[in-house]
Structure 1
Amino acid sequence: MQKIIKQFPVLSQYTYVNTASSGLLYDGLLDWRQEHDLDFLIGGSKMKMKGHLLISETRNSIGKFFGCSAHNVALVPNFSIGLNLLLEGMEANRNVLLLDGDFPSVSWPFETRECATYYLKVTDSLEENIYDRIKKDHINVLALSLVQWLNGIKVDLEFLRNLKKDFPELLIIADGTQFLGTEIFNFEASGIDVLGASSYKWLLGGYGNGFMLFADDAHSKFKCRSTGFNAADGDMEAMGKVSFAKQFEPGHLDTFNFGSLNFSLGFLSDIGMDTISEQIKKLSLKAKGELENLGMLEASVVKRKEHSSIFNIPGDKELYAKLLERDVVCAQRGDGIRLSFHFYNTENEIDKIMGILKGT
């Protein structure tokens, strides 16, 4: 792991616990990007005309990495654009259950459309409460982040699978931005109808790339109207033959951005998602135990059996400034300070942070 960590120059200068805000650029990806742009510099349109091969490869890589058929993968610049395109095709008068404090790009697109929105507080009994509210309020759309951006509470994926079995007509739309890249995940076995994500955090894909994954029957639940020449793969005769996933790709896609994602999926695969998941879980357990001992975690986090590697601790501007002075890169989010640990972090870094919090 130390050899891999050396690929991230930032880590030699800072204790970087801010992946929930932005994943890091690393040497291998920088090399690929420079080669990509050099090819464009000396090849011009000759290089770009071959770009569709890289875009197709990226789509296949995403499908393989997350257990989703490639024809059900849509490439989008970010999750927010993908969700808004999707909801333009959702029928009105839906009863939508949202989580209080969820990421605005999950909630706002529903709140600005003609659907009834219901809200659920995120507590240690999250799954039980979701189930009860779906029955009580006749909910037919559940929209949520798999991992909450403020405090890192992670929904039980097995619960979602069973929920779909109990309520087969329920439409489950999920944001995986703070989850994908942290553990092995199989979309087709998840029970989720639509899963979207931006790739610049835990997937280390850089900015300007994301994707949407669709269940096989998702196309029958939406009537999306977006289209364009790229959606038809440049075929003048194919306007009426555009697939559901391709409706989310009406215009050209940047080979620099999506090639970066493709490269990083290969990078993560080479490390091994089992290795990455094990390291993140180890760091999460240590951080949770240490922070709990300091009384710095909310009860809803402490009581949960499983937690992500994102934590929000109470802290004012003074504590935040103190952490920055000690070269700890983190973020002020909500009412506290958010710490987030990826596979390139270490237990020694957690010890350093705990020392600062204890005032030593």
Structure 2
Amino acid sequence: MQVSYKSYFDIPDDICYLTTPGSGLLPITSKEWRLKRDIDFFSTATDLREKQGEFNLAVKKSIAEFFTVAIQNVYNTPNFSTGFNTLLDRLPKDSKILLLEGDYPSVNFPVISRGFQYVTACIDEQLEEHIIHAIEKHQPSVFILSIVQYISGIKINLEFIKQLKSQFPELLIIGDGTQFLGTEVFDFSQSGFDIVGASGYKWLLGGFGNGFILVSPYGKQVLFPNLATQGLEIDKMWAGKSIDQLYFEPGHIDTLAQGTLQKGLAFFKEHGLENTAAYTRSLVETAKAELSKRKILSQVVINRAETSTIFNLQIDQRHYTMLMENNIKCFPRGNGIRIGFHLYNDENDLEKLLSIIDTKILK
């Protein structure tokens, strides 16, 4: 295994931080930048307030370059849910939507609560086959899913998404990347997704209060089909903004939050996302083997070739308090206890977790 990235983060030696699926950590450089930024912002001698538009445009450029998407198709949002609810209100009202059973509530609830006609596919070893069957049977116009499931950690096969888009080019494919982006290289332009949104506070090292929506040309055509013919006038105060931008970015955006996301992306760029992803992948593969050996992963997760950075330990949730008392940061989810491995974790974290499992849970 490569050298650990833990030294770039303020993590006490006795803390095993495995709860990135709930909230990720910030690099030391991001914390230092935030401190200086706040000092500068509170000074009346600076022009940071006047340059908030310019600043957020620079953040948007960083996002566009990081995920390979045209900058005019990137929208800064306070979080995934805000952007997602906005785009749902732009979908045709007669859309039939395919969802996954038990997907993240912030994905499924806004669809169902709006009264859209919807169908579902179940999540198990044959997830992709169930999706194809549901599409062929129900012929939905939109497919919405989390790329990685928040409880189980089950990850969709990304090559399957590309094939799905090729097979059904008019199917609008929308992904929640909050539990995925930052864990491996992702080229949006070649992904097969028409829209991907995410919050930055988990795997992207971005802290709270930021997110984004990425939209393909086809996705933009579906969401804003009549922009060219609507004849809407934009007040001169909004000069330089497009109508679609006003939907997704209707008000001022927190530059401290968006800047923190930008610093997170810069960290990945400096160290190479392909390198951090390879490091984490190696740790995750080892963890899966060890946890499978102890029979505390679901058979669905064990059987699927696709492995994310999230695992749900199939142990009684009464052990949660004991794990936390032993400085194993985790969280009860579903029928077990959820953990996740990111670039700031290492083999020592895994060994500590396994030791506690062996001596205090499986004894």
Alignment TM-score > 0.5, same fold: yes
Q: Deviations over 1:202-250 (max 9, x none)?
A: 001010000000001222212499xxxxxx99834759x7242442001
Aligned to 1:97: 98
Aligned to 1:313: 313
Segments of structure 1 that go 5 or more residues without pairing to the other structure are 226-231
Query: Contact (CA 8 Å) 1:86, 1:224: kept in 2 or not?
Result: no
Alignment partners' CA distance in 2, 1:223 and 1:269: 33
Partner amino acid for 1:9?
D
Q: For 1:76-225, what aligned pairs fall within 5 Å after superposition?
A: 76-223=77-224
Q: For 1:212-291, what aligned pairs fall within 5 Å after superposition?
A: 212-223=213-224, 235-236=236-237, 238=239, 242-291=242-291
- Tell whether 2:293 aligns with 1:293: yes
Residue 317 of structure 1: how far off its partner (Å): 3.7
Percent identical pairs in the alignment equals 39
Residue 45 of structure 1: how far off its partner (Å): 6.3
Q: For 1:13-92, what aligned pairs fall within 5 Å after superposition?
A: 13-43=14-44, 46-92=47-93
Q: Tell me the SS of whatever aligns to 2:102.
A: coil
Partner amino acid for 1:354?
L
Q: Tell me the SS of whatever aligns to 1:307.
A: coil
Partner amino acid for 1:186?
D
Distance 1:325 1:182, change over 3 A: same
Query: Contact (CA 8 Å) 2:81, 2:106: kept in 1 or not?
Result: yes
Paired residue total: 353
Aligned to 2:6: 5
Distance 1:62 1:246, change over 3 A: farther
Q: Deviations over 1:335-357 (max 9, x none)?
A: 11001000111112112111111
Partner amino acid for 2:49?
K
Query: Contact (CA 8 Å) 1:74, 1:246: kept in 2 or not?
Result: no
Alignment partners' CA distance in 2, 1:14 and 1:162: 42
Partner amino acid for 1:157?
L
Q: Tell me the SS of whatever aligns to 2:150.
A: coil
Segments of structure 2 that go 5 or more residues without pairing to the other structure are 227-232
Aligned to 1:355: 355
Distance 1:51 1:261, change over 3 A: same
Normalised by the length of structure 2, the TM-score is 0.92
Query: Contact (CA 8 Å) 2:99, 2:121: kept in 1 or not?
Result: yes
- The CA RMSD over aligned residues, in Å, is 2.0
Q: Tell me the SS of whatever aligns to 1:253.
A: coil
Distance 1:285 1:233, change over 3 A: farther
Q: Deviations over 1:240-291 (max 9, x none)?
A: x724244200101111110111111101111110111101111111111111
